[in-house]
Amino acid sequence: MEASRNTNSALLSTLFLFLLLIISSSTSLNYHNTFFPTSLSHAHHEPEEPLTVPESDPNTMTLSLPLLHVDHLHPAKSSLSATEFLRLRLRRDILRAQAHKHLGGPAQLNSSVYSGFLQGSGEFFTHLWVGTPPQLAQFVIDTGSDLTWLQCAPCEVCYKQTDPVYDPAQSKSFNPVPCDSKLCHPVHCKDRSCQYGIEYGDDSFSKGKLATETLTFRTTRLARVTLGCGHINRGLFFGAGGLLGLGRGKLSLTTQKGHLFNRTFSYCLVSRYVSKGSSWLMFGNPAVPQKAVYTPMVKGRVRNMADIFYTVRLTGISVGGQAVELPEAAAEKEVIVDSGTAVTRLSQGMYKALRDAFKEGNKNLIPADSPMPDLFDTCYSMREGDSVTAVALQFEGGAFMELPLTNSLVPLDDEGTYCFAFAGDMDGPGILGNTQQQGFRVVFDLEGHRVGFAPDSCSNPT
């Protein structure tokens, strides 16, 4: 009997120790990740369900849309290789980031309406229906712009897009904004309608009439949305017909119609280097996950543009569980959460501290020459099974992002060259790029003036 009691006691002790090990391992941070190679040519994602002609549902207060990464729009018959296509996007990304450095005042545009700042053309796309009856159009989503616009017939100058160009003459709900509207200034009138002009950092632009129109999100119609109807357009929009402005400005969709979905939206961006899941955008209460951790929005240092961006404060960075010593100046730690920039940008001092810590923690990796030295200065020749120290970002208020390996090292070719997915030399606020946001649900709570982050596989938009 005593032997049986001792045996049971030993089994219980062993079971307790086993459970303790499970709990400890499940709640601890992963300070190292194991590398597995990826291919640029297999980085595409199909939306999980097809879009169909929608019907109106006025009681719906939740909107969800599948998103496509620009990689998906790279046609197989294109003369560009996957590597060349990637580098084209990253070149444009450099121009977008450089535009952040020159945000001293409003853009010098020939219009009273301008969108956000002089930036690049975006990375993620979705389909919407425009007008009555609805016409299908593909839009870039952009949290760094306010005005929504699309190419319109008749085109004086238009770039090539995937879907037919939207024709306002075929829509019963299209209405130009008149010159006496508070949105317009009489100097910027032509043919009794308000004119707009938007220029971007990569020399893309759109010019045309300001109007109101109906947008349909799958099953929900939003009437009288102010948008730009562009008759003169040029840009690297990779087939999209226009841009969906999700910034904080007065002309953004989130400001115009935010009251319909509690001024809250979120997106989940699946890693472009994994095959499961689908990126999506959601508006309304279900957009807020219970497990999200939040950081407050801050005013930012950008004169005259501070209310357009979702700016937060980065308070700490760790590499392999060790805190990186960062510059003391609080202003250097402001970052804009941006869906349209791929690579995170930091001030030179902050980036150098992070890069040096990453290199110190990964001496086991084989250094490689950078295929794009004007953007990446730290690259490696990666081998399957390599151990890589993890990077984590800490924000004001305790919000925390432990980055997966695919968010820290990105492939630049199919030969095994991977580069550290951060860059320096930002004079203004930094940028939290979409590469670092992948694998997270990012929540924008406009009512609470906060941004939230929650790890998410992006498998289900609920």
Q: Which is catalytic among the residues 71, 93, 142, 445? A: 142
Q: Which is catalytic among the residues 202, 338, 445, 456? A: 338
Three-state SS letters, 169-203: HHCCCCEECECCCCCCCHHHEECCEEEEEEECCCC
Q: How far is CA 341 from the centre of its chain?
A: 7
Residue 432's identity, in one-letter code, is L
Q: Nearest-CA neighbor of 203 among 88, 87, 119, 93? A: 119
338 part of the active site: yes
Q: Could you tell me which residues come within 8 angstroms of residue 271 by beta carbon, excluding any fewer than 6 positions away?
A: 404, 406, 407, 438, 439
Residue 110's identity, in one-letter code, is N
Q: Please give the sequence-ordered ranges of beta strands (E in DSSP) within 53-200, or none if there are none.
A: 63-66, 68-69, 124-130, 135-142, 148-151, 175-176, 189-190, 193-199
307 part of the active site: no
Would you say 131 and 168 are in contact if contact means Cβ atoms under 8 Å apart? yes
Annotate 44-68 with b (16+ C-beta within 10 A) or e (fewer). Answer: ebebeeeeeeeeeeeeeebbbbbbb
Q: Could you tell me which residues come within 8 angstroms of residue 291 by beta carbon, excluding any fewer than 6 positions away?
A: 454, 455
327: buried, middle or exposed (CB in 10 Å: 19+, 13-18, 0-12)?
middle
Would you say 382 and 365 are in contact if contact means Cβ atoms under 8 Å apart? yes
Catalytic residues: 142, 338
